[in-house]
Amino acid sequence: MRDLALCLFIFILAKHVSSVPTKEQFQSCLSTISKTPNNLSKHTSDSRLYTASLKTSSPSSNFLNLNFTSLKPILTLKPQSESEIKKAILCSKKLGVQVRTLSGGHDYEGLSYLSLTPFIIIDLVNLRSITINLTEETAWIQSGATLGELYYKIAKTSKVHAFAAGICPSVGVGGHISGGGFGTIMRKHGLASDNVVDARLMDVNGRILDRKTMGEDLFWALRGGGAASFGVVLSWKVKLARVPEKVTCFISQHPMGASMNKLVHRWQSIGAELDQNLFIRVIIDNSVEGGQRRVKTTFQALFLGGVDKLIPLMNQKFPEIGLRAQDCSEMSWIESIMFFNWKSGQPLETMLNRDLRYEDLYFKAKSDFVQKPVPENVFEEVTKRFLEQETPLMILEPLGGKISEVSESESPYPHRRGNIYNIQYMVKWRVNTVEEMNKHVTWMRMLYDYMTPYVSSSPRGAYLNYRDLDLGNNTGTKTSFEDARVWGEKYYRGNFKKLGLVKGKIDPTNFFRNEQSIPPLF
């Protein structure tokens, strides 16, 4: 049956290929709209079957994903100006092809550069200017910038400002903000999307809208609802956060076992309740020591203050971990980003490297939200399962604090009060074969199924920035809103309906779509 389904899938894609506009037709359309020369990437060709594992068609990314068979883009455009984006959108409408907008290329299922239907890529790599206003304590950031470029610019401008967003420097600002945006100071300052105060969006007709002209409903949708459903976000205006000149970080590693399970269990009860200045996440992975595979747990922490205040706080709230002053390091906020990337002591210019991929590394990821502590014995079972894999990973990130102070409906991201932490599951492999992929993906799905009784339900929550096509996906232009609820309410809960209504107003023909975009609701 699987072979029959694959043959049918290839037949359907082959029919698409026969009617796809050519590169020359698209270029002709661009020239007709304007005589301005088009800045195309060197990877331009007619559509045909390919996978994301092809190095020539993969963007800069931390990981490559084999879980998606795609057409090859008709063109990859790297616009130098906003007017070139408008031309690309209008020609895509005219020729009946989809648009994929690429910021950093970190979509977990590759939807920023893969498609089952004919498409072009608009790569925003040349549109990444950053303008900081310390008087307002804000920054305008073009969507092609990476978090590392933003952080570097902030650090070179001020010693007491930061932005509440993620720790991976090569992640593109555009996708990260539009999906929510976890980070080490989110318990104090909220998600990245919570700190957006304005945005500039190009809609399906090539109009540029800001917060005033787009209206509050669309502005609401962009801040956590996945902006790719609504247009191309050109730039974001964000509120900067004030941070101390010195913060404190520590790492505490422990081998898994009964005592370690108790520590993780204790963390579950306090992680979301700690002082908002303190962020402690848990990383569970394995390594080979002395020829044997061993599972370990790492507590990785940032405190917005000095070690003199952190130690008494830890002794009061989490004495079980036995933290000492000599286990801690004081540093600047920007240095803490390096610390969380295991790059302490390296030049800050490392943050500007957009291509931090791990060569020949493939992966599958999933996510969960936890609302009450998981029993200790669950982590015993997780340990056993981790010993079956070469590179499994679970990251538990505490919520609470500022995140819980925001109402569930204030932005599309709904996982607020009542959720104590998020789980990111990931498994990686190096051998590029279907058999190897199936083995690891099956293992991941079985772990996910095992965790079902211990995580959120009705619906089981998921985080958009850890995109997972296992939850469901759209099938062409005719996917109904009701069908999309299968996966949409896992990401957005009750906010999915409002997102559909916004989509119906801004893009009623569903031009901006992908395999997990918001269908219009009328």
Active-site amino acid positions: 466
Q: Are 187 and 400 in contact (CB under 8 A)?
A: yes
- What are the angstrom distances between the C-alpha of 171 and each of 126, 230, 258, 334, 372? 15, 21, 37, 16, 31
Q: Which three-class secondary structure state does DSSP give residue 427?
A: strand
Q: Are 261 and 376 in contact (CB under 8 A)?
A: yes
The H or E element spanning position 28 is helix 23-33
Say if strands 196-202 and 232-239 run parallel, antiparallel, or are unpaired: antiparallel
Say if strands 421-429 and 392-398 run parallel, antiparallel, or are unpaired: antiparallel
Q: Residue 58's closest CA among 359, 348, 415?
A: 359
- What are the angstrom distances between the C-alpha of 465 and each of 148, 339, 379? 17, 22, 25
The Cβ of residue 118 has, within 10 Å, a number of other Cβ atoms equal to: 21
Q: Is the four-CA dihedral 174, 177, 178, 183 of positive or negative sign? A: positive
Taking the CA atoms of residue 109, residue 111, residue 115 and residue 116 in that order, the dihedral angle to the nearest 10 degrees is 50
- Spatial distance between the Cα atoms of 163 and 203, rounded to a whole number of angstroms: 27
The Cβ of residue 129 has, within 10 Å, a number of other Cβ atoms equal to: 13
Place of tokens 């015993």: 380
The neighbouring-strand residues paired with 446 are none
Output the six-digit token pair for 67: 């879980």
Place of tokens 């359309």: 29
Place of tokens 């105060």: 197
Q: Are 251 and 283 in contact (CB under 8 A)?
A: no
- Spatial distance between the Cα atoms of 27 and 20, rounded to a whole number of angstroms: 14
